[in-house]
Amino acid sequence: MTSRPAAGGGRWVEVDPARVTRWVTNFADRHGPPTASTEPYGLLLTAPDGAAAELHTPPGVPPSADLPAFATAAGTPRRIGLLLARKGAVAVGVAEGTDLPVHKVDTRYVQGRTAAGGWSQQRFARRRDNQAKAALADAVDLAVRLLLPEAATLSAVVCGGDRRAVDTVLADRRLAPLAALRAERLLDVPEPRYAVLLTAATAARAVHIRITDGGPLS
């Protein structure tokens, strides 16, 4: 389980779907039995001491009316498309739970920035821009070959890396079926590699919980 500060107060924790019920039990032990209410994002648990936990429905999971249904739905294996892009690297895959029956990683050299100025700087910038465009074109082709044929079987497409790069890839008209499945969640990942893609498969399924109004994390 990972945690990080939440904008506006409280903290975010990421919980494996199989541990959601146990997490809520721990939350109740610390703060008292909570009441649950449905929200657009998922479920809101409000404890007697004022602590609250927002359980956000993972990508591709249908809405749930109560905690047992939420935990069951979140833990049900689904096929999720993954698209990770950053600089000159792209990774695509189809996750079934934490398995990757379909996956591919591709890299293309893109020069870093330089502090030099003048004509040389302009030439360098043009070369770098062309390299970046070529890398994104490769990313589009990879998504067309591997993800697009799977679109009808996917519950969602979860992206990660550089938002601008991902936006550019999914702007290709051929990938409209994938863009329509894109989840709001954007994974913060380093330069895509196979190990990063495996980690992304787990992160895409995680239940994001925002805890507010004090109390220790469960």
In the chain, where the domains are located: 2-77+206-212, 79-204
* CATH H-level superfamily of 79-204: eRF1 domain 2 (3.30.420.60)
Q: Look up residue 148 and give its amino acid.
A: L
C-alpha span between 88 and 178 (Å, rounded): 21
Tens of pLDDT along 148-205? 999 999 999 999 999 999 999 999 999 999 999 999 999 999 989 999 999 999 999 9
Report pLDDT for 130.
Answer: 52
Tens of pLDDT along 6-35? 888 899 999 999 999 999 999 999 999 999
Average pLDDT of span 102-113 = 70
pTM here is 0.85
Average pLDDT over the chain reads: 87
**Taking a C-beta distance cutoff of 8 angstroms, is the pair 105, 89 a contact?**
yes
pLDDT band at 215 (very low <50, low <70, confident <90, very high): very low
Q: Match 């590699």 to its residue by tokens.
A: 193
Q: Is the dihedral of CA 140, 199, 153, 70 positive or negative?
A: negative
C-alpha span between 192 and 175 (Å, rounded): 20
**Taking a C-beta distance cutoff of 8 angstroms, is the pair 61, 185 a contact?**
no
pLDDT band at 147 (very low <50, low <70, confident <90, very high): very high
